[in-house]
Structure 1
Amino acid sequence: MTEHMLGPHVVGRRIVVRRVVRGETGPSGGPALTDLLGICTAWSATTCVVQPESGAPVEIALADIVSGKPVPPRPSVRHRASPVEAQTRSTAMWADLETEPVGAWLLRHSATSRARRANSVLAFEPSGIDDDDERVVAWYAGRTGRPIAAVLPESPEDALFRGHGWGPESGDADTVFQMVGVARARRALPPTDSGLDIVVEVSDGPGDSAHAVARIGDRASGIAAFDRDWIGFRSIEVAPEHRRQGLGRHVMAALLEWGAERGATTAYLQVLGDNEPALALYEGLGFTEHHRYRYLAPA
């Protein structure tokens, strides 16, 4: 009897099935075998049905199954983006951001923001050039006066900078880059016709990029940037005396509505890994972790 990890319990799950192709001969002269990957949509006493990513559903006789097992869901298109690509996309958050490559690294500086994301070198992969760290130091000497590197934890770049005497830029936890589909997040947020007086101010950038600031008087505010069907959030703030009223969610709902009208399909934000209240809030909206990174600076 063929042994495998399939059964009625895999209905609705992604599976891979190796099965016999009746009437065909394999290279060794025995029965031909083929693999099928897809979602199991039905399981009976004699057959199972698998829906591949493309094409019609396939009905398989249980007697033809040689082996099979459940497999993890395929990552969404947005989660298949590399950390470098996701971080490069997020440079749209600052309209005045100055950037310059150092090989495969990206120097970043904003004259209007002190945020580390806007004032650090993005070093998520080998730069491919010599004296890369010296170039980083020299570039920031004429701007912020303090070089900072954003690196993936335990990466070769993390080790490289530490080998040059760099260490944690602060006592902060690693930063979590989170993403979600716009449609899912909108379902989890309150309706935009809540009756609150939310003002959204928009400024267009190059191409189809744009920035928006949403305010509920002096009680809450937030900033969003749209670029190439991604929308990012930062500075979602609520005055201390107005917290625990859901105002931050209403700000995000207004900004997300604005992004959706422009064609945004992916939303992202970044939050410190030890900010439990914020993580709980964003996870409740469907945001999931894409990657983590940390900041290093010279001793």
Structure 2
Amino acid sequence: MGRRVVVRRLLRGETGPTGGPAFTDLLGTCLSWRDGACVVQPETGAAVTIPIADIVSGKPVPPRPSVRQRVTVRDAELHTAALEGIETTPLGEWQLRYEPAPSGRVRNRFNSCLGVGDPGMPVADAAHAVRSFYSARGRSPRIQVELGSANEEALRALGWQPVPGRDSHFLLASLSRARRSLEPADGSPSLEVDGPRVRAVLDGVAEGRAVLDGVAEGRAGLDGDWLGIHDLQVAPEHRRRGRARAVLAALLEWGAERGALTVWLHVETGNEPALALYERLGFTRHHTCRYYSTNPLSTSQS
């Protein structure tokens, strides 16, 4: 029991549109099948008890995707703008993203056009506008697209090329489930809060006789009830010791205290250890994105 089903049943005493018996379909979760009756719980309302003799047909159906998975790619990716307070400019449904004062390296996510949806003009004209926008700001022109989308095909036809090694999965999860699944870790990161954004730094973990500095850090941004995690990193000599878990736990707790329900992040497709970690925490893949550029081998962005 507990399986999602659709059941067609007879409506006794009612006449169908052709003059014969009337039937109706019920979609829900089968709670029980015994004592001559089937009990189905629809998504809303009370459970329905159906005599088995009145069931004409029935079949299992796949579970309905979670509310989070039903969010469009564009709506999911638009949460990026909350991470570092980047400047955004609309280009139809596309979005030009620019980070005037990068903190460290210039990151693709904050300095590229979100090329999802309809730019409101031919893709060739939109691509030219993107190139002009970023060239005027000293950035490599880059467009982020959903892997396998029509926009990707159009950019390829225009001669734009994928940026090597930058394909990434957009993962999301229930924040409460991720917190429950996260194993305890030593260390209490300090938090630097800037409005809807936070930086967690683990820089004073006692280990033996030494106190380690610059062990691990990570950042997060809150947009509505969505918490985005980014730049989670651990010094090479301190990896595989639970440092990332300690930072992640601090970021999730900070988000939960502010009403976040969903947590999301990007992970490069080749980062198998990170993907395995997030899968254990209940993250699932929403979509995969790829960056395109007229100069894909440029080292000015990462």
Q: Structure 1 length normalisation: TM-score? A: 0.90
Quickly say closer, same or farther: Cα 1:144–1:271, change in 2 above 3 A: farther
Paired residue for 2:194, among 197, 203, 217?
Answer: 203
**2:259 — aligned with what?**
263
Please list, as runs of the form range in 1=range in 2, the aligned pairs for 1:150-299 lying within 5 A after superposition: 150-170=144-164, 172=165, 174-191=167-184, 196-204=187-195, 210-217=196-203, 218-299=214-295
Matched, 1:141 2:135: yes
Once the two structures are TM-superposed, the CA of residue 190 in structure 1 deviates from its matched residue by 3.5
Task: State how far apart, in whole Å, the 2-side matches of 1:263 and 1:176 are.
Answer: 25
**1:115 — aligned with what?**
107
Task: State how far apart, in whole Å, the 2-side matches of 1:53 and 1:65 are.
Answer: 20
Quickly say closer, same or farther: Cα 1:242–1:145, change in 2 above 3 A: closer
SS at match of 1:132: helix
Once the two structures are TM-superposed, the CA of residue 173 in structure 1 deviates from its matched residue by 5.4
Residue by residue, what CA displacement relative to the aligned partner does 1:164-218 show, whole Å, maximum 9, x if unpaired? 1111122x15210000011111101135xx66232111111xxxxx111111101
Q: Structure 2 length normalisation: TM-score? A: 0.89
**2:116 — aligned with what?**
124
Task: State how far apart, in whole Å, the 1-side matches of 2:265 and 2:3 are.
Answer: 29
Task: State how far apart, in whole Å, the 1-side matches of 2:261 and 2:15 are.
Answer: 46
Task: State how far apart, in whole Å, the 2-side matches of 1:195 and 1:276 are.
Answer: 24
The one-letter code of the counterpart of 1:236 is L
Paired residue for 1:103, among 64, 85, 92?
Answer: 92
Quickly say closer, same or farther: Cα 1:195–1:145, change in 2 above 3 A: closer
The one-letter code of the counterpart of 1:197 is S
Matched, 1:33 2:23: yes
Please list, as runs of the form range in 1=range in 2, the aligned pairs for 1:7-26 lying within 5 A after superposition: 11-26=1-16
SS at match of 2:230: strand
SS at match of 2:176: helix
CA contact (8 A) 1:174 1:294 kept: yes
Once the two structures are TM-superposed, the CA of residue 298 in structure 1 deviates from its matched residue by 1.2
Please list, as runs of the form range in 1=range in 2, the aligned pairs for 1:70-89 lying within 5 A after superposition: 70-89=60-79
Task: State how far apart, in whole Å, the 1-side matches of 2:199 and 2:219 are.
Answer: 5
Q: Which runs of 5+ in 2 are unaligned?
A: 204-213, 296-302
Q: Which runs of 5+ in 1 are unaligned?
A: 1-10, 205-209
CA contact (8 A) 1:189 1:250 kept: no
Task: State how far apart, in whole Å, the 2-side matches of 1:183 and 1:289 are.
Answer: 18
The one-letter code of the counterpart of 1:261 is E
Residue by residue, what CA displacement relative to the aligned partner does 1:28-63 show, whole Å, maximum 9, x if unpaired? 111111111111111115211111111110111122
CA contact (8 A) 2:111 2:139 kept: no
Choose between structure 1 and 2 for higher RCO, CA contacts under 8 A separated by at least 6 residues. Answer: 2
Quickly say closer, same or farther: Cα 1:195–1:166, change in 2 above 3 A: closer
Task: State how far apart, in whole Å, the 2-side matches of 1:281 and 1:161 are.
Answer: 33
Residue by residue, what CA displacement relative to the aligned partner does 1:96-154 show, whole Å, maximum 9, x if unpaired? x1111111111111121511111111111221214111111110111133100111122
Quickly say closer, same or farther: Cα 1:211–1:75, change in 2 above 3 A: same
Once the two structures are TM-superposed, the CA of residue 275 in structure 1 deviates from its matched residue by 1.1
